[in-house]
């Protein structure tokens, strides 16, 4: 089950994420952040 959260992100990071969403790398900001967080967590395990 997914939960809705609110975060504050630096504008530069948001611009990069938006470019990835526009390029169809991620379906949405939420999807992009979720993928990146999962990848980082797996890398650290």
Encode pLDDT of 1-45 as tens digits.
Answer: 999 999 999 999 999 999 999 999 999 999 999 999 999 999 998
Domain ranges of the chain: 11-44
The per-residue pLDDT for 12 is 98
Spatial separation of the C-alpha atoms in residues 22 and 24, rounded to whole Å? 5
**pLDDT at residue number 45:** 80
Return the exposure string of 10-30: e unless at least 16 CB atoms fall within 10 Å of the residue's CB, then b. Answer: eeeeeeebeeebeeeebeeee
């Amino acid at each position: 089950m997914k939960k809705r959260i609110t975060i504050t992100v630096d504008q530069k990071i948001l611009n990069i994420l938006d470019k990835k969403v526009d390029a169809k790398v991620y379906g949405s900001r939420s999807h992009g952040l979720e993928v990146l967080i999962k990848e980082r967590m797996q890398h650290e395990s």
